[in-house]
Amino acid sequence: MPKKEVKITKKIESKCKYIFVVGGVISGVGKGVAASSIGRILSDRDLRVTSIKIDPYINIDAGTMNPTEHGEVFVLDDGDETDQDMGNYERFLDVDLERANYMTTGRVYESVIRKERNLEYNGKCVEVVPHIPLEVIRRIEEARDKANAEVVIIEVGGTVGEYQNMLFLEAARMMKIKNDKGVFFVMVSYLPIPSKVGEMKTKPTQYAVRTLNASGIQPDIIIARSQLPLDDRRKEKISMFCNINQGHIISAPDVDNIYDIPLNFEKEGLSNIICEAMDIKCISNTNEDAKRWAKFVKSTHSYKDTLNIAIVGKYFNTGDFTLSDSYLSVIEAVKYSAYTSGVKPILTWISSMDFEKDPKSINKLSGYDGIIVPGGFGERGVEGIIKVIEYARENNIPYFGLCYGMQLLVIEYARNVLKLKDANTREVNPNAKSIIIDIMEDQKEKIEKKKLGGSMRLGAYIAHLKKGSVAMKAYKTDVISERHRHRYEVNNAYREALEKAGLVFSGVSPDGKLCEIAELPDTKHPFFLGTQFHPEFKARPLSPHPLFTAFIKSCIKNKSK
Ligand code: GLN
């Protein structure tokens, strides 16, 4: 996939600019997407932008957090397990981020305590203030330097007034004192419209601004999230009571499509407002990427047809909302490939456990143009998933398995084609006779010693592709790099037998020992492919993922049959 080159142009005379994005009133109103969109519109003006996410948790990374509560664990090239907002930044900015771009309270304290043990504070008493905020600032500067950034956007997790993010706001305040024009605050606030009142209310935003003021910070811009656009009366009120120039209050009504947001911000002149207020010198017009972005957004509104895609997993007691957050990158990856192929994807979440309870209900899958099984852990729902894969294989429905979805594909093939009836993964049944998917050698000790945080096989690894395979035809190259997050792998003891039975391991690690892609040739099935890695982490609006695109194209063909 084409990577965006880091352009070394010196458009800015002054030093780097820092934009802090904080939340007011309530969480979950799109602070991450707002921060990503600000990044997009500034990089569309040829500025080198990098983004940082601050998560106020004690956790060292997001890898130990439950995705149905906290959202997807987004894996970076360097293997860092981060918050789903990091995925939004990568997708909106079309850049690869690194560990330095993600910060948690746990990380900050861990390094301060380590430095103290190494006598790096020269005998001083190490205090929460200033040493914690100073470490926060050091990390922000590290991310800036690594990206050679002209603008750093820093999203502070949570909402203002929470105890947990106070030290991060203190770091921001300290930066502002030293660099007035270089540090800027955007508050993403929420304006409710109570149903019985029928009027948009500004008071919660006024309180949120005062709470931020109590941390010594005055917002420069308010992004006013609401169901409806902001009217002039509301802008006047916020301006008057929050001490903000009326032109710096940006209306951000609900949208169906998050990719419209950068364009909506620009309708309000946001990049001009930021550049003028912060004295940023940049090109006055937007660049080629901006045109490509607009073209992509247009495709999301001008599709000719729809596709019905089933996403099958062990879903259990979770509503649609949390599910779509847990698999955010998968959903977005499907969208990019679908829209740029002229179709709108309609995704249905299907619990594999339904098929365990009622095996006949599997026939309802015939109504779908394609099936995806995303990543997962544990034994729940696995038997149902294997039934689904069998159904997709036998009924020529395009099937795309991601990580666990690939491992279970191989097990299905071993059971039903190789006739190894008790084929399984050690993760589910360590006593099975045919362990087709086994624990990776270096993972055994980690599990035994309970070294579980950040210890999976993580991040980008290279794979070599087989000539003529479905994978290679999609990628149009024979060497790829993709991101991983797993502990188990295909057991090589069964590889030859599986290959003899027709399964193709079309992607393998450079030493040939690790199976990265399993597929059936396109002469045998329209699309039956699984990846040990997570291709969804590298799909971008401006560069849809080749495997998702190949899957979508086969779904389109399947539908037209
Ligand atoms: N549970 C499997 C493993 O650890 C698959 C992981 C995943 O789907 N991310 O290998």
* Domain range list for the chain: 17-297, 303-560
Residues 169-188 have a mean pLDDT of 95
Closest C-alpha residue for ligand 1 atom 6: 486
Tens-digit pLDDT profile for residues 200-226: 999 999 999 999 999 999 999 999 999
Residue 320 has a pLDDT of: 57
Q: Could you tell me which of 437, 338, 459 has the C-alpha nearest to residue 385?
A: 437
**Who wins on pLDDT, 430 or 7?**
430
CB of 380 closer than 8 Å to CB of 314: yes
Q: How far is the CA of 70 from the centre of ligand 1 (A)?
A: 18
Atom of ligand 1 nearest to the CA of 440: 10
pLDDT class for 318, splitting at 50, 70, 90?
A: low
Work out the number of other CB atoms within 10 angstroms of the CB of residue 92. Answer: 28
Which residue minimizes the CA distance to atom 1 of ligand 1?
Answer: 377
The pLDDT of residue 48 is above 90: yes
- pLDDT at position 378 is 93
Q: Is 466 exposed, middle or buried (0-12, 13-18, 19+ CB in 10 A)?
A: middle
In this prediction, residues 440-445 reach a mean pLDDT of 93
**Which CATH number does 17-297 carry?**
3.40.50.300
Q: How many angstroms is it from 452 CA to the middle of ligand 1?
A: 14
Among 380, 399, 381, which Cα is nearest to 310's? 399
How far, in Å, CA of 334 to CA of 544, rounded? 9
| Residue 200 confidence (pLDDT) | 94
How far does residue 328's CA lie from ligand 1's centre (Å)? Answer: 17
Closest atom, ligand 1, to C-alpha of 376: 8
- Cβ-in-10-Å burial (0-12, 13-18, 19+) of 440 comes to middle
Q: Which atom of ligand 1 lies closest to the CA of 405?
A: 8
Q: Is the pLDDT of residue 286 over 80?
A: no
Q: Determine the residue of 438, 488, 489, 531 to mutate for testing ligand 1's pocket, defined as the one with the most ligand atoms within 8 A of the Cβ atom.
A: 488
- Determine what percent of the chain falls in helix, strand and coil, rounding each to the nearest 5: 45, 20, 35
Residues 71-107: tens digit of each pLDDT: 899 999 999 999 999 999 999 999 999 999 999 999 9
Do the domains 17-297 and 303-560 sit in the same CATH topology, yes or no? yes
C-alpha 455 chain-centroid distance: 20
Centre of ligand 1 from the C-alpha of residue 464, in Å: 21
pLDDT at residue 13 is higher than 90: no
Residue with CA nearest ligand 1 atom 7: 375
Atom of ligand 1 nearest to the CA of 375: 8
Q: What is the pLDDT of residue 544?
A: 97
Among the atoms of ligand 1, which is closest to the Cα of residue 485?
Answer: 9
Ligand 1 atom at minimal distance to the Cα of residue 378: 1
| Among protein residues, the one whose CA lies closest to atom 8 of ligand 1 | 375
pLDDT at 323: 76
E-strand ranges in 135-196 read: 151-159, 183-190
Three-state SS for 471? helix
For ligand 1, the distance from its centroid to the CA atom of residue 41, given in whole angstroms, is: 36
- pLDDT band, residue 319 (cuts 50/70/90): low
**CA 324 to CA 310: how far, in whole Å?**
13
Nearest CA to ligand 1 atom 3: 486
Residues with CB under 6 A from ligand 1: 375-377, 403-404, 427, 485-488
pLDDT of 316 reads 64
Pairing mode, if any, of strands 81-82 and 74-75? Answer: antiparallel
CA of 162 to the centre of ligand 1 (A): 35
Mean pLDDT for 249-260 is 94
Burial 340-364 (b: 16+ CB within 10 A, else e): bbebbbebeebbbbbbbeeeeebee
Banded model confidence at residue 315, pLDDT cuts 50, 70, 90: confident
Query: Separation of 404 CA from ligand 1 center, angstroms?
Result: 5
pLDDT tens for 341-399 read 999 999 999 999 999 999 999 999 999 999 999 999 999 999 999 999 999 999 999 99
Average pLDDT, integer, range 35-55? 96
Task: Say yes or no to pLDDT of 325 above 50.
Answer: yes
pTM: 0.94
Gap from CA of 437 to ligand 1 centroid (Å)? 10
% of the chain surpassing 90 pLDDT: 88
The CATH homologous superfamily to which domain 303-560 belongs is Class I glutamine amidotransferase (GATase) domain (3.40.50.880)
List, by residue number, the catalytic residues. Answer: 403, 534, 536
CB 313, CB 351: distance < 8 Å? yes
> Can you tell me which residue has the tokens 């009924």?
395
Q: Write the pLDDT tens digit of every residue in 104-129.
A: 999 999 999 999 999 999 999 999 99
Task: Tell me which of 10-14, 426-430, 497-501 is least confident.
Answer: 10-14
* pLDDT mean across residues, the chain: 93
Closest residue to atom 9 of ligand 1, CA basis: 375
pLDDT value, residue 560: 84
The per-residue pLDDT for range 529-548, each reduced to its tens digit, is: 999 999 999 999 999 999 99
